[in-house]
């Protein structure tokens, strides 16, 4: 199985003013991420506004990312649905795309399944594909928590390879690392990257690295190498901006920062929309203070 370690970017999906996908900007972003030293890329996650993409657009974003990456970094493609049959279909389809190394799939949202329901959901996906599966626990989005005991059961399935833990509960994440010391645990929160690594995690799937990939990759690598002084230095420099990326719902703020940097047009698909002006002004001041926006 592909080893996922370090900093992976949950990459945004750029749009043009007419609402179509801005493939030119997407290609440029993917190339810049790789040139900046990012460890892997995650197209079509939450940060990619995937719920608003058509099926063909979802596939095209993944294929474009694969084409530009050209094997230089692993690609973890998002394939989530709150309908198990659809999640299985999407995972099966994307697993056949040459160049996709693993699949990210979140707990079913809105349905609020039980722990057994989540287990059966992920088991069905895992049994349908031959690629590594990264589970995504994000209770703030889905309304349900993937509990450590359920994750332990799932870890026994051969191709359940990792978990992106975005519960925000460091005690739970530390418990997972203690319970499953050989299992791959990735932080789903930029601001918790160092705490998660300190208890046994091996990296982060990052929102912030959309805007400053080199520094997020360096920070994560320093922590994994035991250079905590350098890791803390970078964390302290960028922590306020990591947190500011959630002044409004992700990916609104990070796309605003990328637009400030001139890397994308600031366009969203409803129900995502532009930030409130006062919050955008605050975000810009924080991004300038961090040196991300000149």
Residue in the structure block whose two tokens are 């031959």: 130
Q: What stretches of 19-161 show up as alpha helix (H) in DSSP?
A: 23-35, 55-69, 84-95, 115-128, 139-142, 148-155
pLDDT value of position 2: 59
Prediction pTM value: 0.96
What is the set of domains in the chain, with CATH numbers? 6-225 (3.20.20.70)
Measured CA to CA, the distance from residue 13 to residue 117 in angstroms comes to 31
pLDDT value of position 3: 79
pLDDT tens-digit series, residues 193-202: 999 999 999 9
Measured CA to CA, the distance from residue 36 to residue 213 in angstroms comes to 6
Catalytic residues, which ones?
A: 136, 164
Radius of gyration of the chain (CA): 18
Mean pLDDT taken over the chain: 97
pLDDT tens-digit series, residues 119-149: 999 999 999 999 999 999 999 999 999 999 9
pLDDT tens-digit series, residues 47-73: 999 999 999 999 999 999 999 999 999
Query: CA-CA-CA-CA torsion for 281, 282, 285, 286, nearest 10 degrees?
Result: -140
């Amino acid at each position: 199985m592909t080893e996922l370690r370090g900093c992976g970017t949950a990459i945004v999906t750029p749009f043009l003013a007419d609402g179509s996908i801005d493939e030119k900007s997407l290609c440029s972003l993917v190339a810049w991420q790789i040139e900046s030293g990012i460890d892997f890329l995650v197209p079509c996650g939450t940060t990619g506004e995937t719920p608003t993409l058509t099926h063909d657009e979802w596939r095209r974003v993944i294929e474009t990312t694969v084409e530009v990456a050209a094997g230089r970094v692993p690609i973890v493609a998002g394939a989530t649905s709150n309908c198990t049959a659809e999640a299985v279909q999407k995972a099966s389809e994307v697993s056949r795309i040459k160049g996709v190394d693993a699949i990210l799939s979140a707990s079913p949202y809105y349905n609020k399944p039980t722990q057994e329901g989540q287990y059966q959901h992920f088991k069905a996906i895992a049994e349908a594909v031959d690629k590594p599966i990264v589970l995504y626990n994000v209770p703030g989005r889905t309304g349900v928590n993937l509990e450590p005991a359920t994750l332990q059961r799932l870890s026994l399935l051969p191709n359940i390879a990792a978990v992106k833990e975005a519960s925000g509960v460091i005690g739970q994440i530390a418990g997972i690392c203690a319970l499953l010391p050989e299992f791959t645990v990735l932080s789903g929160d930029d601001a918790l990257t160092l705490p998660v690594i300190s208890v046994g995690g091996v990296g982060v799937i990052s929102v912030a690295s959309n805007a400053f990939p080199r520094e997020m990759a360096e920070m994560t690598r320093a922590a994994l190498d035991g250079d905590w002084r350098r890791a803390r230095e970078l964390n302290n420099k960028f922590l306020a901006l990591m947190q500011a990326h959630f002044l409004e719902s992700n990916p609104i703020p990070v796309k605003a920062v990328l637009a400030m940097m001139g890397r994308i047009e600031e366009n969203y698909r409803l129900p995502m929309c532009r930030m409130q002006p006062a919050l955008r002004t605050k975000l810009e001041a924080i991004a300038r203070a961090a040196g991300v926006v000149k």
